[in-house]
Homo-oligomer: A and B are copies of this chain.
Amino acid sequence: MDKLIEQIRNFNKERDWGQYHTPKNLSMALMIEAGELAEHFQWLTQDQSKTLNSETLGEVREEIGDVLIYLLNIADKLGIDPIAAAKEKILKNANKYPVNQAKGKIAKYTDL
């Protein structure tokens, strides 16, 4: 992943796009890309969403790439290590949703 972050930095530096890449703009772009990812699933049933055809899977793969690119870019700009942040969040969630209470229950899960 370090190499990917380096590639993102170089890509944007070469194009002088850093001026547009404020955390505010990047958070907006990230949400928009997440919307483009979700667009592929919006009219599918749950089951259909599990078995995409190869064309849709290819498009979804690209959108997942886009989301990761913007996520790493905003984290990089703010000096945040996203892997460490995710691991800490899992620990926090483990306390918030104890196995014996949360098992199979969606109600508590709604506000995750």
Contacts and interface: CB of A to CB of B under 8 A. Distances in A.
A71 B68 contact: yes
Interface residues of A, number: 76
Interface string A69-92: 101101101101011011111101
B43 A37 contact: no
B85 A65 contact: yes
State the main secondary structure of chain A at its contact with B.
helix
A71 to B, nearest CB: 6
Given A1-B83, A28-B38, 17 more contacts: A11-B90, A14-B103, A23-B52, A28-B41, A30-B38, A30-B67, A31-B32, A32-B42, A34-B67, A43-B109, A50-B77, A57-B80, A64-B75, A64-B80, A64-B86, A65-B89, A68-B71
